[in-house]
């Protein structure tokens, strides 16, 4: 008899977790410790030499974090994961293992504004260059590739514009170029979309958003799909060449289809140090247990709210892939069959000033710079999250002067709509 593969909701509750072997505790304990006692000198030596798996120091690994890593990797269909301090930290560690000074990567220009800023500015300090491509013109990814290109990056559902990338098409370009395809799956979560099924080699998350789901913890996660041949053409020295700090171990030869996750842990996290707190890991694990329930409710609410907003006379346009007339509706049906997400944008006829008035007049919505909460959230990106970008970059990122972004929570949809209605009706 074939062993049954657990369903998504079962994995969200159980993957990676067992009752605590010492106390029998059913909930994963918070291992709030800096370090761990070795069994012997030989045991310590084998741990430091990567010959044995185990705990050394919480900056490198922690038992609470390990459950989180295994759970998200299982939900995404990957071989291994690494939990880190934030989504931005996850991106730094991924590129640290892929790029050398002077190398390039191609990225979709429809991204979260913080990622655009990180790629354009902070990454320059490492000697890494981003080359932008347009997800609405897939051939632009191929045109952007040069001999220096080492990776391609996109979001599954872009924040804030709701752009859905044709991931299978981008993955084919990455394969032809011999580079890994990295997908930020924060907005979709694996409940709505599994990028590995569509050709992604690496998946990154901001755990802060829908996976944690309660607006109480910052975290990030890297998932290794186990699909990329890191020894091909020997273009990735951190994975295919002997590592002097580990007595000449070649990570890809030693660890096979989870070598990239190991590299991120023992070569990047070890030295860059952006470790996730075990307490935050515990809170995020608790949030993931209800991920399917929250995402279903939020997506149902969002569909209703987007339809109401689209019919309002003060609204000039709505960008939400769940709407039949949206340019990404077909891609949403293909890549996100369980729903088009819980974040969308729209523009008001009054432009910038009208957007500012709206966020000033809501009562149920919280005006803050986050998404993916149980609560409904609102922001005017041009004056906040994307403020550092030029007007042209704001427009390219889907955050022009008139744009308002909503992240829809799990409240009663009638109450969400009523709050928008009163805010739009408020006098100037």
Tell me the pTM. 0.95
Q: Could you tell me if 162 and 341 are in contact, meaning their C-beta atoms sit under 8 angstroms apart?
A: yes
Across 314-321, average pLDDT: 96
CA separation for the pair 60, 77 (Å, rounded): 23
Q: How far apart are CA 202 and CA 96, in angstroms?
A: 14
Query: Residue 110 in contact with residue 140, Cβ under 8 Å?
Result: no
Phi, psi for residue 43 in degrees, rounded to 5: -60, -45
Tell me which of 62 and 385 has the higher pLDDT: 62
The pLDDT assigned to 1 comes to 46
Every domain range in the chain assigned CATH 3.90.1150.10: 291-425
- Length of the chain in residues, anyone? 428
pLDDT at 384: 78
Q: Which residues, in sequence order, are CB contacts of 327 under 8 Å at separation 6+?
A: none
Distance (Å, rounded) from C-alpha 263 to C-alpha 159?
A: 28
Q: Quick one: fold of 8-287?
A: 3.40.640
* Angle, CA 308 vertex, CA 306 and CA 310 arms, to 5°: 65
pLDDT, tens digit, 9 for 90 and up, residues 141-150: 999 999 999 9
Q: What is the pLDDT of residue 397?
A: 66
Arithmetic mean of pLDDT, 87-91: 98
Distance, CA of 155 to CA of 112 (rounded, Å): 9
Q: Where in the chain are all domains bearing CATH 3.40.640.10?
A: 8-287
pLDDT band with cut points at 50, 70 and 90 for residue 382:
confident
The pLDDT of residue 395: 75
Tokens of 165: 């990338």
CA distance 97 to 294: 34
> Could you tell me the pLDDT band of residue 393, with boundaries at 50, 70 and 90?
confident
pLDDT at 161: 77
Beta-bridge mates of residue 204:
184, 222
| Angle in degrees, 0-180, between the axes of helices 413-425 and 291-310, rounded to the nearest 10 | 40
HEC string for the chain: CCCCCCCHHHHHHHCCCCCCCCCCCCCCCCCCCCECCCCCHHHHHHHHCCCCCCCCECCCCCHHHHHHHHHHHHHHCCCEEEEECCHHHHHHHHHHHHCCCCCEEEEECCCCHHHHHHHHCHHHHHCCEEEEECCCCCHHHHHHCCCCEEEEEEECECCCCCCECCHHHHHHHHHHHCCCEEEECCCCHHHHCCHHHHCCCEEEEECCCCCCCCCCCCCEEEEECCCCCCCHHHCCHHHHCCEHHHCCECHHHHHHHHHHHHHHHHHHHHHHCCCCCHHHHHHHHHHHCCHHHHHHHHHHHHHHHHHHHHCCCCEEEEECCCCCCCCCHHHHHHHCCCCCCCEEEEEECCHHHHHHHHHHHCCCCEECCCCCCCCCEEECHHHCCCCCCCHHHHHHCCCCCCEEEEECCCCCHHHHHHHHHHHHHCCC
Average pLDDT over residues 64-78: 98
Q: What is the mean pLDDT of residues 72-92?
A: 98
**Count of CB atoms within 10 A of residue 404's CB?**
24
pLDDT for position 391:
77
Q: What is the pLDDT of residue 201?
A: 98
pLDDT at 4: 85
Pair 236, 150: CB distance under 8 Å: yes
pLDDT at 398 over 80: no
The residue among 85, 88, 91, 83 whose CA lies nearest residue 65 is: 83
Within 10 angstroms of residue 168's Cβ, the number of other Cβ atoms is 15
What average pLDDT does range 12-30 have in this prediction?
Answer: 95
pLDDT tens, position by position, 183-237: 999 999 999 999 999 999 999 999 999 999 999 999 999 999 999 999 988 999 9
- Region 34-55: mean pLDDT is 94
Q: Omega of the bond prior to 88 within 30 degrees of 0, cis?
A: no
Distance separating alpha carbons of residues 213 and 271, to the nearest angstrom = 29
Task: Taking residues 409-413, report their average pLDDT.
Answer: 98
For the chain, the average pLDDT equals 95
For the domain made up of 291-425, the CATH class stated in words is: alpha beta
């Amino acid at each position: 008899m074939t062993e049954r593969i657990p369903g998504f909701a079962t994995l969200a509750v159980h993957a990676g977790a067992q009752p605590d072997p010492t106390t029998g505790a059913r909930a994963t304990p918070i291992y709030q410790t800096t370090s761990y006692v070795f069994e012997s000198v030989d045991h310590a030596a084998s741990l430091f030499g990567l010959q044995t798996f185990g705990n050394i120091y919480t900056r490198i690994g922690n038992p609470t974090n390990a459950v989180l890593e295994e759970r998200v990797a299982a939900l995404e269909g990957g071989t291994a994961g690494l939990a880190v301090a934030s989504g931005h930290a996850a991106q730094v560690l991924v590129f640290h293992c892929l790029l050398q000074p002077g190398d390039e990567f191609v990225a979709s220009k429809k991204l979260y504004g913080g990622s655009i800023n990180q790629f354009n500015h902070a990454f320059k300090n490492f000697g890494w260059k981003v080359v932008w491509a347009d997800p609405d013109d897939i051939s632009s990814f191929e045109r952007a590739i040069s001999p220096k290109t080492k990776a391609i990056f996109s979001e599954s559902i872009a924040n804030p514009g709701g752009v859905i990338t044709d991931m299978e098409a981008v993955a084919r370009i990455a394969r032809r170029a011999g580079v890994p395809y990295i997908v930020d799956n924060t907005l979709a979560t694996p409940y709505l979309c599994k990028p590995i099924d569509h050709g992604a080699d690496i998946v990154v998350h901001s755990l802060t958003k829908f996976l944690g789901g309660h607006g109480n913890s910052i975290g990030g996660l890297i998932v290794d799909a186990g699909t990329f041949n890191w020894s091909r053409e020997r273009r990735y020295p951190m994975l295919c060449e002997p590592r002097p700090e580990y007595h000449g171990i070649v990570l890809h030869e030693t660890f096979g289809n989870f070598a990239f996750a190991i590299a991120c842990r023992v070569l990047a996290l070890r030295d860059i140090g952006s470790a996730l707190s075990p307490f935050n890991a515990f809170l995020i694990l608790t949030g993931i247990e209800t991920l399917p329930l929250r995402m279903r409710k939020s997506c149902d609410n969002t569909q209703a709210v987007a339809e109401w907003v689209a019919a309002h006379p003060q609204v000039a346009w709505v960008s939400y892939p769940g709407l039949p007339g949206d340019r990404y509706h077909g891609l949403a049906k293909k890549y996100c069959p369980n729903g088009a997400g819980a974040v969308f944008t729209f523009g008001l006829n009054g432009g910038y000033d009208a957007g500012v008035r709206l966020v000033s007049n809501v009562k149920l919505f919280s005006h803050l710079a986050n998404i993916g909460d149980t609560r409904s959230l609102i922001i005017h990106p041009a004056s906040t999250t994307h403020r550092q970008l030029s007007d042209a970059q704001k427009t390219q990122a889907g955050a022009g002067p008139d744009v308002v972004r909503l992240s829809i929570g799990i409240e009663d949809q009638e109450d969400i709509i009523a709050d928008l209605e009163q805010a739009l009706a408020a006098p100037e």
